[in-house]
Structures are given as structure tokens and as C-alpha cells.
Amino acid sequence: MKLWGGRFQEQTDEDAGKFHSSLAFDKRLYKHDIKGSIAYAEMLGRQNIITNSDAVMIVENLKSILSDIESGILHIDSEAEDIHTFVETKLITRIGDAGKRLHSGRSRNDQVALDMRMYVKEEIDLLCIQLTGLLQTLLITIKLHCGTIMPGFTHMQKAQPITLGHHVMAYFQMFKRDYERLLDCYKRTDEMPLGSGALASTSYPLDRQFLKEKLEFTSLSANSIDAVSDRDFCIEFVSCLSMIMMHLSRFCEELILWSTDAFDFIKISDAYATGSSIMPQKKNPDMAELIKGKTGRVYGSLMGLLTMMKGLPLSYNKDMQEDKEQVFDAVDTVKNCLSVFCGMIKSIEYKTENMYNSALGGYTNATDAADWLVKKGLTFREAHEIIGKLVLFAIEKDKKLEELTLEELVNISNIFDNTFYEAISIENCINTKALSGSPSADAMAEAIINAERYVKKCLEKRL
């Protein structure tokens, strides 16, 4: 059944009909579409646009259709044009002319805008729950490994000693920002578009305020043209998802590196690895690699949405039907990746002794050595040059800085004394960093308290 067929004399070409149909993917919006139509029917009855008896009949039968779909009694017809047409057609089949009155003052343009906004809001809530779970998981690792010393890197070269807890706390901050970005995106998604019609609103006396409250929106769309032609909220949402994937990908790359023989910092559980079809010894970090690979897929969805909207004239154009597959695929991908990643993180075994021994190499205490000279009265540039020469000498002698004799140190500069050795111990290099945000024990204790408060606040929002 074509809801727009009155003006047409010829049947839609079969291939064109399949090409045009969005039911294959927008059928996942059935709950949102029916919930929106229930509220709309109630409003039509309250405003005497349709009779109260028709409104009651429509609402009861929409609820019945929803129940039948969810129980499996009613299967969504693959021949329908879209989910909106399917639901309305089934309603008309069940109650006749009363069902034909449901669409009074409403267009599919504002109807689909409503459905997508309801869907995105729901998915933001679900993703925030997943991100909260991930933050909790990371916090467990952080608390367990505040004292686990490891090398920090810049340019993939050993730089300064840090702790594993401090390193993972960096990712906690990234995913915290992801959580906050989603909440911010929710604010701009939380606009109720019904009443916008096709683009120019409607002469029916609709009660938009009732619809806003009934459908649990915070505000009303301010312009009918913008309401039906806006997909900024979809683009912003998938941009937020892309950021989540970028952070997952960065962490996964480090897990892959840390699991190699070259690093040997971690052991990934067999449950999150696979083997080789030809090399019996292999244990491959495939889950981490897949998450990295799927990051490009979500980026592709973002670029698809941006390209779809580029140069699109006002107001609604059929191009915008392409929003759904991009959003749906990005959501599914991110939710799956978060689930697997969270399980993988919980299962990791950290080889703390290897991490510590690695931090002892690579002259990671050189910066602290320079700082010690500054405290002795040298300028930092003078200190930098002296420690640079000291490192070069130590490399030639195949020694660590702390293995050099006092005589060897004094040959470089007579400012050195025995207090130098304590100053450049790996533990001292970490715990003298007293500033907030640093890897020292005191700074990390403060960071953990703040992180715990944040997670608690996230959990309270879900209650």
C-alpha cells in the first residue's frame, strides 16, 4: 500500500521500489515510531482534531501492534516502503477509517525526525552505561597498579619512568571526555520536531507542548524547516562514536605492542586471542586488532553522513534516508567493541617485573638527573648539556647512569656528589613529581578519589 499513491497512474518499477525502500534497516525504529504515534493520537484526541473514540481505538491498536511485533506474532512485511508505512498500514487494516486519521497534520518528514531523535537519545543512554562500566574496569586496574613502575614513551622511545596506574589513568580521562561528549550531544538531540509537518508546519491546532512532555523531550524545535532537514545531531553523535573508537584503537595498539616479545609487558587471555592456521606457536591479539580495524568503519560512517549533507538544499531531500544505515552501523560497531574491549581489559595479566626492568633501561632518569643539577645552581640548558654528555659516556661504557662511579661523574662535571644516586633512582623520579596530575603516589591518590567520585556520579545518573 502506497500512502502517497493518489497522484500516480503507474506502478512503481520493481527495482526502483526495492531501491527506494528503507524497511530493511529502518525497521529497528518500530518501537520509537509506534511510541511517537501513540502520543500523537492522544494529542489529536485531546485537541478534538479526531474524535476521542477514534483516538482511543488508534492507541489501543498501536499498543497491540507493538506487542504483536515484540512477541513474534506479527512479522514486519518486507514489501512495505518503510517502517512508518508498515505500522500505519497495519493499523488501517485492523481498524479501518479511524486509522487513516492518525496522520492528520503530520508528515513522514517530522515523523522520521522524531524517530531518529528518540533512537539516538536511547542509544546515548545505553552507551553511557557501557562507558561507565569501562571507567569502573579501568579504575580497578589503576588502583591495583599505582605502584607498578614502567617506562613512559614519546616518539615510541623510552622517555621517563611512570606507573601503569598513571598510564591507564590517561585512558580513563579520554573515556571520561567521551562520556561527557555524549551527554552534550544528547542536549542538542533532545528537541521534539513534531508539528513541523513536511517543512511549513500545519494549520491543525496541534499541542506541541503535550507531545514534548509525553515523549520526554526537553525542548521544541524552533524552526519547521530546520526540524525536518537537520541531521546535525546524527553527525555529532557519530562524531562522538568516532572519538570513542579512536581512543579504543590507541589503547588496543598499545596492548598489541605490550604483548609482543619486544615488550613482554602483558599476557592477553586466550579468550581474547586466536592462533595461526599454519604456525602452531602463534597467539595473535586479534580482538585488539579487530577493534583497531573497525575504527575505520565508524570513521567511514561519519564521512558518509557529512558527505550526504554537503550542499543539500533545504528542506527534506531523499538523500537523508542514507542517515540511518550509517548511524545504526556505527552504534552497533561501537557497542560491540566496547563490550569486547572491557572483557579483554579485565582478563589481562600484567608482567610487572618486566615493566620495572624496562623502566631501568633507556636512561629514563636523565631528565631527573638534569633537574638535580639545576637544584645545584646550574641553568637548565647547562644541566641538559652535561647530562647529554653523561648519557653519551654511559652508552659508550654500556652502563646505566646510576652505575657510573663518582669519579666518572666528576670527570664530566665536578658538581656531582653522592646525593646524585638517590636523586635519580626510578622510584624517586616518580615520587618527587608532587604536582596534581603527575604519577607520584600522592598525586595518584588524589586522582583516584576524583575518578571514584566521577564514576559514582555516572552511576547515580542511571538510577
Sign of the C-alpha dihedral computed for residues 203, 204, 205 and 208 taken in this order: negative
Report the amino acid identity of residue 175.
F
In the residue annotation, 339 being an active-site residue is answered as: no
Q: Is 434 exposed, middle or buried (0-12, 13-18, 19+ CB in 10 A)?
A: exposed
In the residue annotation, 384 being an active-site residue is answered as: no
Q: Which residue has the cell 648539556?
A: 385
DSSP string computed for 137-186: HHHHHHHHTTT-EEEEEETTEEEEEEEHHHHHHHHHHHHHHHHHHHHHHH
Three-class secondary structure assignment of 293-320: HHHHHHHHHHHHHHHHHCCCCCCCCHHH
* First-last CA distance in the chain: 44
Catalytic residue among 71, 155, 203, 277: 155
Sign of the C-alpha dihedral computed for residues 307, 309, 311 and 312 taken in this order: positive
DSSP string computed for 351-364: -HHHHHHHHHSTTT
Catalytic residue among 53, 78, 219, 276: 276
Measured between alpha carbons, how far is residue 372 from residues 254, 365, 392 in Å? Answer: 32, 11, 18
Whole-number Å distance between alpha carbons of 145 and 430: 14
CA 194 to chain CA mean position, Å: 28
Whole-number Å distance between alpha carbons of 436 and 426: 19
Check if the beta carbon of residue 337 is closer than 8 Å to that of residue 245: yes
Give catalytic residue positions.
155, 276
